[in-house]
Chains A and B, each alone.
Chain A
């Protein structure tokens, strides 16, 4: 007997390491998580530069968010879908580490990578146009930024759970991604969207977080009518909801897949 039990911390690190190695072996993620958002950021700049610095910031926050989202959602859900595809879901589930920690490790890595992506978008745009992007409240902004990341991670865990649950999760994710870019106001202000799309926006925690971020960064910003604290409440509430869903779902997902016996389908 060589091993008796696992350690959560070590498992998380192992998962992150695997994610990095896989990423380095095939850096195709640079497209959704970095190249697309940078292009989007630069285009936004051109479009909004005439409307003043704050509006530029508004657009750039959207682009950064898009980057983080691409990384978090794609990275977490995709890696789990990939486990199914490669047939590694079965050996992974036979290991003593609960699958939740595998997913958490991935979400953490992807979130960190997304954060880096967001920062890069910000810097690239600032350097390209050679003019500093103003921040109304840098410290709070950073804190808020970390919070946005958490809201993203919460959604990431739910998507990853969906991938363990069913091989059809890819379909759900593609729809979800589209709803996200539009719904959360990354691309357009939410208030410009038709009324029917608002429920979609409101159930996604990052909608609230991004709006709060804009309140914080842009003086005189008018987002949702409930202001910064309204946004914060919304973001916290929806994040708690997602984490709750993720926790419950995970407990059931493992049982479900062991009952269904379709772990190897893809």
Chain B
């Protein structure tokens, strides 16, 4: 039997209206999602990438039945997330993560037991299953300690354990490594990879390109409530301008210089950023003909000038995309 997509959305919009001001008399309208179309295949690990405020959490909550979209079609495992929410809930898992969301006064094991009961994990398998997920997220020695004693990384592991406890077919992870130290973040990513091996469809959001690159087969970039790119990692690499990236650093550039660089044949865009006391220009170059000396020749009169080429990273592509959308 061939399965349809695990996630299917068309033109999803979500507007938030909130009241501000001392008398709540000022109505603020935020369009968090402005028409999102997405398909995620069964068994895939899909990454939704975007900066803060892009709408990642909003979209994740809609997919996991926690928020009703203002309009649009949203189906998970072939079920409508609003109409079939009750039937869908036992088949999906959601990990929002963070410091909150756990009963702090009781142990990790008791937290899991409570949710195992609410999800109806079969009685005869419950305690074994709880031990299984505890071992899996590597909380074995801390399982009977109160959650309030847990570090941020341990809490994240417990969030993950709860997310997979009932054996969901689709798992939603909203910024699973945010706020974690590098070691915990690495362990979390390892765990996520191992889940895909089990056949679970994973939808994760992140604002780190390298994380999406490391984990995901396909990536969509969300910016201000719209998907601005959607491709495989390799496809995204080819997406913006050429494949070459040239960095130029000096103690400041005048506008004339930047304009001259822009006019060199093959230079598709220039991003400037402060880099300590220096200024760095990052050039995207679409031709192999351009030599670094051509650039140096445009920039005389600099006491300290560095011109070097590096591999275009996915991070560059991502920043380009998000910036393009913003301007």
Which of A's residues lie within 8 Å of B, judged by CB? 1-7, 10-11, 13-14, 17-18, 21-22, 25-26, 86-88, 90-98, 102, 255, 258-259, 261, 263-264
Contact = CB atoms under 8 A, between A and B. Distances in A.
Nearest to A255: B68
Contacts of A261: 14, 16, 58, 61, 67
Contacts of A264: 100
Nearest to B164: A2
A7 B98 CA distance: 29
A91 B94 contact: yes
Given A86-B102, A96-B89, A7 B120 contact: yes
Given A17-B114, A263-B66, A91 B101 contact: yes
Contacts of B122: 2-3
B106 interface: yes
Given A2-B122, A3-B90, A11 B68 contact: no
B96 interface: yes
Interface stretch (B39-47, B165-173, B271-279): B165-173
A258 B66 contact: yes
Contact of A3 (B105, B146, B162, B167): B167
Interface in B18-69: 58, 61, 64-68
A119 B268 CA distance: 81
A258 B102 CA distance: 20
Contacts of B98: 87
A102 B115 CA distance: 11
A2 B165 contact: yes
Contacts of B104: 86
B117 A86 contact: no
B67 A3 contact: no
B120 A259 contact: no
Contacts of A259: 67-68
Contact of A87 (B92, B100, B110): B100
B106 A25 contact: yes
A95 B115 contact: yes
Given A94-B89, A96-B119, A1 B106 contact: no
Contacts of A92: 118
B174 to A, nearest CB: 11
A3 B61 contact: no
A264 B174 CA distance: 15
Contacts of A7: 120
Given A3-B167, A21-B106, A91-B94, A258 B125 contact: no
A7 B120 CA distance: 6
Given A3-B166, A95-B89, A14 B67 contact: no
A11 B169 contact: no
Interface in B91-132: 91-92, 94, 96, 98, 100-106, 110, 113-123, 125, 129
Contact of B106 (A4, A22, A95, A96): A22
Contacts of A17: 114
A91 B162 CA distance: 9
A97 B67 CA distance: 17
B167 A5 contact: no
A17 B92 CA distance: 25
Nearest to A263: B66
B105 A4 contact: no
A258 B94 contact: no
Contact of A86 (B100, B110, B114, B167): B100
A96 B86 contact: yes
14 contacts: A3-B116, A3-B166, A6-B117, A18-B110, A21-B106, A25-B146, A87-B96, A87-B102, A91-B101, A94-B92, A94-B94, A98-B86, A255-B68, A261-B14
Nearest to B133: A2
Given A21-B106, A94-B89, A95-B115, A1 B120 contact: no
Nearest to B172: A94
B120 A6 contact: yes
A41 B302 CA distance: 88
A157 to B, nearest CB: 19
B31 to A, nearest CB: 13
A2 B66 contact: no
Nearest to B104: A86
Contacts of A88: 100-103
Given A2-B121, A2-B122, 13 more contacts: A10-B117, A13-B117, A14-B113, A18-B103, A22-B103, A25-B146, A86-B100, A87-B101, A94-B94, A96-B118, A96-B120, A102-B118, A261-B14
